């Protein structure tokens, strides 16, 4: 049954439905795959083997239930989602021993749909990073090349899907943290519209940006996962109550009816040769199939990175204030007074990148600087959103690179945070806008690393976005899996 780990969600679901194998067989195959690849990939922080097998056995005993769309399907989930009784570390020493007493809405809904949780995956500390190198528990490695980063902050989730540890995963996207690792690891990642999926029970980084979403091997599988978790939640007042679409039965798109916008600011950027070559070939294949391209302008794009890093760090400063060594989490006890408890706890419990972002955000919110930084950034955010909205009036979706680089060597930019921040340029504007985005593999570059392309859509148009993505997926050649067969 070892080959079962290679099935995507749709294939696995069909096999379970027709009793070609059991939920226990599938779960065990994925766990064995996880064990054989994990020592070198380090995608997972907590493996839930006993619970997963127990859950699979219970499902088998109860019998296949067609009313549960994820019945018996194993998933991994980023370690910012609270899962009752299991550790929830958010990749931080600050929460190293925290076990949640409640569950995130996403977790509850996935359980109700019949999903099985294999493991909680590694991430940059408090989801603050673009490489999964800023985890307190060590970096995750890219399955296509173990010397390269998987992207971040949902790098563990993307690596687990790419390495065939699980057919699907959930992550969060604050400034590209689903789309970018999906692009660098060669899988599909969906950032839903802000408010389409509940944030209840997710460790917060920047509350007006954070959005949960799926990663999988196909666009249809992302739709299947979104359908299980989307919708209103009384415990999250920011969730949209707009009607849900049919994410499972996508209408085919005629390529001759599809118009994609090419932002000049992205396509004239300094793209690495392997990235540019793959994306140019991908565009050529779409053009031959009948897809039309139009050039569009996003004039305020040059302000996007600065705007995001003022607003997101300000929100992070507020959200991380609760980790003070008094209420819960890590506490540095060798202190003379309360102020020293606060200072030493945060100095010791938070890593360098998390401290850097908290300090940036605290400065932006401080007296005398709020008007100059936070307020101005909030105004520019609106201008960027208007630019994206205007650009979408001349096309159905915006087509862009996910990153100007393919997966870079581990450690390359650890001492150069500004370079890492700048590499978020191609994902951040969509988070400032709030609409949905889909990252999918466009091919392997000359360096044998995946190159991702992304589509941006209008708010709440996940159905159209997924349908367009499915078309691109059919036109482009399938991506070869990572060379992991000899790993043990």
**Tokens (6 digits) for 147:** 């010397």
Q: Are 406 and 137 in contact (CB under 8 A)?
A: no
Residue 376 CA to residue 371 CA, distance in Å, equals: 6
Residue 430 CA to residue 450 CA, distance in Å, equals: 22
The DSSP string of 438-488 is: EEEEEEE-TTS-EEEEEEE--TT-HHHHHHHHHHHHHHSPPPPPPS-TT--
Q: Are 225 and 115 in contact (CB under 8 A)?
A: no
User: Which distant-in-sequence residues (6+ apart) come within 8 Å of 475 by Cβ?
Assistant: 255, 285, 286, 289, 291
Q: Is 84 an annotated catalytic residue?
A: no
Given 13, 22, 78, 283, the catalytic residue: 78
Q: Are 183 and 439 in contact (CB under 8 A)?
A: yes
Residue 222 CA to residue 466 CA, distance in Å, equals: 8
Q: Is 36 an annotated catalytic residue?
A: no
Q: Are 309 and 175 in contact (CB under 8 A)?
A: no
Given 130, 153, 160, 300, the catalytic residue: 153
User: Parallel, antiparallel, or unpaired for β 397-401 and 259-263?
Assistant: parallel
Q: How many CB atoms lie within 10 A of CB 70?
A: 24
Q: Are 454 and 183 in contact (CB under 8 A)?
A: yes
Q: Are 82 and 104 in contact (CB under 8 A)?
A: yes
Q: Is 177 an annotated catalytic residue?
A: yes
State the Cα torsion 425-358-353-374 to the nearest 10°.
Answer: 20
Q: Number of H helices and number of E strands within the chain?
A: 16, 11
Residue 71 CA to residue 51 CA, distance in Å, equals: 16
Residue 359 CA to residue 221 CA, distance in Å, equals: 39
Given 92, 154, 160, 177, the catalytic residue: 177
The DSSP string of 164-229 is: TS-SEEEEE-SSSTTHHHHHHHT-EEEEPPTTSB--TTB--S-TTT--EEEEESSHHHHHHHHHHH
SS3 145: strand
Burial of 409 (C-beta count, 10 Å sphere; 0-12/13-18/19+): exposed
State the Cα torsion 393-223-276-420 to the nearest 10°.
Answer: 90
Residue 309 CA to residue 303 CA, distance in Å, equals: 10
Catalytic residue numbers, as ranges:
78, 153, 177
């Amino acid at each position: 049954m070892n080959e079962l780990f290679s099935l995507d969600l749709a294939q696995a679901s069909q096999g379970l439905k027709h009793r070609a194998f059991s939920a226990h067989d599938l779960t065990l195959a994925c766990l064995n795959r996880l064990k054989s690849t994990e020592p070198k990939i380090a995608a997972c922080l907590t493996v839930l083997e006993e619970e997963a097998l127990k859950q699979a056995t219970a499902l088998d005993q109860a019998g296949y239930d067609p009313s549960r769309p994820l019945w018996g399907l194993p998933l991994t989930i980023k370690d910012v989602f609270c899962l009752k009784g299991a550790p929830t570390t958010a990749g931080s020493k600050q929460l190293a021993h925290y076990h949640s007493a409640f569950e995130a809405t996403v977790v509850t809904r996935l359980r109700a749909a019949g999903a099985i949780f294999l493991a909680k995956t590694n991430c940059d500390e408090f989801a603050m990073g673009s490489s999964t190198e800023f985890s307190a528990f060590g970096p995750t490695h890219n399955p296509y090349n173990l010397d390269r980063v998987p992207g971040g902050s949902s790098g563990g989730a993307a690596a687990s899907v790419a390495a065939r540890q699980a057919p699907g995963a959930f992550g969060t996207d604050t400034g590209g943290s689903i789309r970018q690792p999906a692009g660098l690891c060669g899988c599909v990642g969906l950032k839903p519209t802000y408010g389409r999926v509940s944030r209840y029970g997710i460790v917060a980084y920047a509350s007006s940006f954070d959005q949960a979403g799926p990663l999988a091997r196909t666009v249809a599988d992302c739709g299947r996962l979104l359908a299980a978790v989307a919708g209103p939640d009384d415990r999250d007042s920011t969730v949209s109550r707009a009607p849900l679409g049919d994410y499972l039965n996508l209408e085919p798109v005629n390529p001759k009816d599809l118009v994609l916008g090419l932002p000049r600011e992205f396509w004239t950027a300094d793209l690495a040769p392997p990235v540019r070559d793959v994306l140019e070939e991908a565009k050529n294949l779409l053009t031959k199939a009948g897809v039309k391209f139009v050039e569009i302008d996003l004039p305020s794009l040059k302000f996007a990175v600065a705007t995001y890093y003022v607003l997101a760090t300000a929100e992070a400063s507020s959200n991380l204030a609760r980790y003070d060594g008094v209420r819960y989490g890590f506490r540095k006890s060798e202190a003379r007074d309360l102020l020293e408890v606060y200072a030493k706890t945060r100095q010791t419990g938070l890593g360098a990148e998390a401290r850097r972002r908290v300090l940036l955000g605290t400065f932006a919110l401080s007296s005398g600087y709020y008007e100059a930084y936070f307020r101005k950034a909030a105004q520019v955010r609106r201008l960027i959103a208007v630019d994206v909205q205007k650009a979408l009036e001349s096309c159905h979706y915006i087509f862009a690179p996910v990153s100007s680089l393919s997966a870079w060597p581990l450690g390359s930019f650890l001492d150069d945070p500004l370079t890492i921040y700048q590499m978020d340029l191609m994902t951040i504007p969509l988070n400032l806008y709030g609409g949905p985005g889909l990252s999918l593999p466009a091919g392997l570059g000359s360096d044998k690393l995946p190159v991702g392309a992304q589509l941006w859509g209008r708010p709440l148009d996940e159905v159209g976005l997924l349908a367009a993505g499915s078309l691109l997926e059919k036109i482009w050649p399938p991506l070869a899996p990572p060379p992991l067969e000899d790993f043990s």
